Amino acid sequence: MALSQHEMFEKLLDQLDLAADVRQDPSLTSGTVQNVTIHEQSRRYDFTLGFDAILPFQIFNAIATKLPLVFQQIAATDLSVEVTQPTITDELLAQYWQYVVTHAEIGTGIVRELCEKQVPTLENDRAVIKTENEQIRQYLIQQGLGKLEETYRQVGFSGLRMQAEVDEEQAAQSMAAFQAQRAEETAKMAKAAAEVVKQQAAKQKQVQTDGPVQMGRQMKMTDAPQQMVTITQEERSVTVEGYVFDVEVRELRSKRQLLIFKVTDYSSSFIAKKFSNGPEDEAMFARIQKGQWLRVRGSVQEDNYSRELTINAQDIQTVSHPDPTDDAEGEKRVELHLHTNMSQMDAMNPISDYVKRAKEWGHKAIAVTDHAGLQAYPEAHSAAVKAGLKMLYGVEINLVDDGTPVAYRADEPRDLASAEYVVFDVETTGLSAVYDKVIELAAVKMKDGKVIDQFEEMIDPGFPLSELTINLTHITDDMVHGSKSEVDVFKLFQQFCDGAIMVGHNVTFDVGFLDNGYERHGLADIDNPVIDTLELSRMLHPERKNHKLDTLAKQYKVSLEHHHRANADAEATGYLLYALEKEAAKMYGMTTLNQLNDRVGAGDAYKAARPSHAIVFAKTQAGLKNLFKLVSLSNVKYFYRVPRVPRSQLQKLREGLLVGSACSSGEVFTAMMQKGEAEARAKASFYDYLEVQPLPVYQPLIEAGLIKGEAHLKDIIQKVIKIGSELEKPVVATGDAHYLDQHDAIYRQILIHSQGGANPLNRHSLPDVHFRSTSEMLTDFSWLGEEKAHELVVDNSNLIANWVDDDITPVKDKLYTPEVPGVEENLKHDVMTTAHELYGDPLPDIVAQRLDKELKSIIGNGFSVIYNIAQRLVLKSNKDGYLVGSRGSVGSSLAATMAGITEVNPLPPHYRCPNCQYSEFFTHGEIGSGFDLPDKQCPKCGADLHKDGHDIPFETFLGFHGDKVPDIDLNFSGDYQPIAHNYIKVMFGEDHSFRAGTIGTVADKTAYGYVKAYERDTGQQLRGAEIDRLAQGDTGVKRTTGQHPAGILIVPADMDIYDFTPIQYPADDQNAAW
């Protein structure tokens, strides 16, 4: 049987578990549940309760407070009350007033301030609120009265009407008080401001000098704290030690305070709580700040609200936690490869964190080398100047060759259709031609589109094959065991290739193995022409995203049954060659060997090239401009998946730049790893210096099988060092820093994980790339010997830092306004003409003095052109039929008003005759605004006078000295704003007008989502405090770029944009209009 409405109410009261005196109050005996509306999508319950009379406020408030707490795990709640016989009294109005003000949506401005200062009174069945003038009364009616009335009705005051009235007595008192106050206002404000500053300084000093936190019993520092990650259940007593990353002190109804702080030891995190037991505890609560290290002892219990383990702190005390130090003796290193949180979704800390640490360590300089962008430069400049540290302004670019050859040794005009080809493929034990071996070499000899001979040999590498090699090539140890030696197979293959054009797919890989093998055995170098079908396909079809052999075989209907076996790959590549040669002849008339490279570098060839990393530094101020150009070209003209820098452009703009070989993704290290010393030496000749990094930084290459192990890795590094010595180029040890401390690594792991398979870094574990000290780096390279380690780590890093000028500045220190001929005279003429039209000639003294003062400041500080731009934009918009509104401090400039830029008149309130220019000003504060003046006829000609003036000092706009850059905010129609923006281009030219950019960073909620996804995908169960810590660590990282909705940068005609900044498209959208 269904419950009655009253029984439902009784059941609800049972659930609310109200205090006994509330539960037994007679006003509840008539209670019913009139309705419960359930909103499933938004998870909200709307309760409507019914009563005979309006509830006493304390009874209503008890229900309203308990209801959301009881249902918080299920849904949000909303409460309204219906009363059958509402009897409204002054007492009930007053009791409910603060609740109504708090819950009505009236904001926090004038309306709320007015309501909090008074209580409505009941007059003729209406609740009346008094105001001091008509303007406030009208504003209250528009902005709040209806909302207050509606909220009263929701709590049972049905039928109540609210009314606002002007209190004439209060208005008179307010005017008198206003006049008295105006005379003393300036002095009082100055005195009050000085007192506030003094009190703030004293308060800050007190917090800093009050000594350490000590609450409860003293704890022994000799007892080791427990690691937070090991605490997984309730315990009577634990002692932990950690870093405070969030703190809050709540004031309870009982007048006690509740301290809630989050603390981490970087293994996990906890919320800790403690209630105050008097003023001494409260004073201690005030000392606990973010960034402190605390030792905490207490019990671990499951919190009733969060349902998570929480430490109920009994004893708290500060502990010393030594900051990381650089204790190397003598000169310190300089980090030349460092990423900040402006490296998109890849690095964690702002540059200021690194600068602070470098200064503490005694480093004399530090570099910033973010990926493909320079957005960290302004902060880097500010931080470096503040710390007295030299900043090296750099970037890590994606360097590409302008075009990769299709054919090598291809000078002779040999006919392609009738030529003889050897199409070959190798299967190897790995990707390095230096450290891996060929285990199968297969080829087909083709002529006139047919196979005329075959070559296929297995080679015994002399060691067991890895599981990865067997799975990839389907070649087993049994298949290679007892096969011919490498030298014998290579000799036979040389004979097989005699006189033919050699062909392969990604042939530089295969040729690299042959070149190294031939050199190893003293055989003659390859002198045959060589064609790469991979590059031929890229040249013919740059629009294709995939040029893999199996993909092309499907597109050209070429059989490929046993991919990754040399014989099958070679034959398929041969038939693919003939198909591609037919297309080359048809598309570009290429019929001979020497024509195949005719289009290398043409069109979008940069898109086909594989990027490698390189570090570029501005060596001089002129070099910084070239760096701005280079980064702009990479983001605007040569963007394809990533910003790319063609080698030819780097060479063209190389003056004033330093170029380094970068990390394991740089071409020198890659060539040394995969192709050998000769190839690496050829690549290294392009650079000013070479980089090597600590062994742990290369660990992912070992995991991926690209390097066989630590011994091979050391050999590669030693050969890079040898090449540097031979070419007389310094080799420097860099850290490739992506975060400040080792414990920050988890933040980057979460960030990279959030990008899924789109980021290749997710394929292997991430290396340790924290900001290393000199002593750490010397230890990392100690295997080279003390002297060589010091040379790489200290000597050469300082040498390169010294190559860079000390006075490079990426941020301009003054305003560069465009030159507009006659702009000062035109502005003065327009302003004075309008002023005379409105106020007559001669002008009233108050107008003349104000304009004289303003024009001297505007013209004297070079701001005329800014007024001119705003004036022309407004005039253009008005002419096209769109009104323009202004906002902000521009309304305090009478010159702006006279120039037609703003409709706000900042003069004191006044009358003005549109017919005879009579004027009357009120300068003693008796009127707040000219709009408040009563209507009046001109005493001279009888015309209706205009009322204007808002008494705003000019200093509000340009500062007390009139030298603050004008901030003119104009509100154009939404339809017209793009037209106004484009009109800037008409005025100053497309090459001198640019939209301001914005940087979108990872927000709190986004970071929280990243952490939850990481928790899910890694099978972990993290405490809420640990989730909050990890989310904090991921916030603020550059995620994308955008476009300011209105900001436009105008460059003077005698300068270009690269004198100020690089440019890019918003969010890398190459189709953006600006």
pLDDT of residue 173: 58
With contact defined as beta carbons under 8 Å apart, do 289 and 322 qualify? no
CA atoms of 756 and 763, how far apart (whole Å)? 9
Torsion of CA 1017, 1022, 1026, 1030, to 10 degrees: 0
pLDDT in tens, 353-396: 999 999 999 999 999 999 999 999 999 999 999 999 999 999 99
pLDDT in tens, 162-197: 898 887 666 555 544 444 444 444 344 445 444 544
In percent, the amount of the chain with pLDDT more than 70 equals: 94
Strand order in the sheet with 919-921: 919-921, 910-912, 946-948
Beta strand spans in 876-992 (E):
885-887, 910-912, 919-921, 946-948, 969-971
DSSP-assigned beta bridge partners for residue 243: 264, 293
Three-class secondary structure of residue 835 per DSSP? helix
DSSP annotation of 814 reads S
Among 443-447, 940-944, 957-961, which stretch is predicted with the lowest mean pLDDT?
957-961
Q: What are phi and psi of 809, to 5 degrees?
A: -130, 120
pLDDT in tens, 748-788: 999 999 998 878 888 889 999 999 999 999 999 999 999 99
Q: What angle (nearest 5°) sits at the alpha carbon of residue 861, between those of residues 857 and 862?
A: 120
pLDDT band at residue 630 under the 50/70/90 scheme: very high
Q: What is the mean pLDDT of residues 654-665?
A: 98
Q: For tokens 């690194």, what's the residue?
A: 354
CA atoms of 1059 and 626, how far apart (whole Å)? 9
- Integer CA distances (angstroms), 196 to 204, 283, 1005, in order: 12, 21, 36
With contact defined as beta carbons under 8 Å apart, do 684 and 724 qualify? yes
pLDDT of residue 179: 45
pLDDT of residue 801: 98
pLDDT band at residue 142 under the 50/70/90 scheme: confident
pLDDT of residue 210: 57
pLDDT in tens, 847-865: 999 999 999 989 988 889 9
Three-class secondary structure of residue 874 per DSSP? helix
What are the structure tokens assigned to 473, written together?
């090539």
State yes or no: pLDDT of 104 exceeds 80.
yes
Cβ contacts of 375 within 8 Å, gap of 6 or more: 342, 999, 1038
Helices (H) and strands (E) in the chain, counts: 37, 34
pLDDT of residue 1: 58
State yes or no: pLDDT of 206 exceeds 60.
no
- Integer CA distances (angstroms), 564 to 282, 431, 548, in order: 73, 13, 12
Cβ contacts of 109 within 8 Å, gap of 6 or more: none
pLDDT in tens, 1045-1068: 888 899 999 999 999 999 999 988
Taken in order of first residue, the domains within the chain and their CATH numbers are 5-171 (no CATH), 214-318 (2.40.50.140), 378-402+609-734+772-803 (3.20.20.140), 407-603 (3.30.420.10), 823-987 (no CATH), 997-1057 (no CATH)
CA atoms of 876 and 984, how far apart (whole Å)? 11
pLDDT band at residue 107 under the 50/70/90 scheme: low
Cβ contacts of 646 within 8 Å, gap of 6 or more: 400, 401, 402, 606, 638
Among 49-58, 126-135, 344-353, 1005-1014, which stretch is predicted with the lowest mean pLDDT?
126-135
State yes or no: pLDDT of 125 exceeds 90.
no
Amino acid at 282: E
pLDDT band at residue 836 under the 50/70/90 scheme: very high
Q: What are phi and psi of 571, to 5 degrees?
A: -65, -40
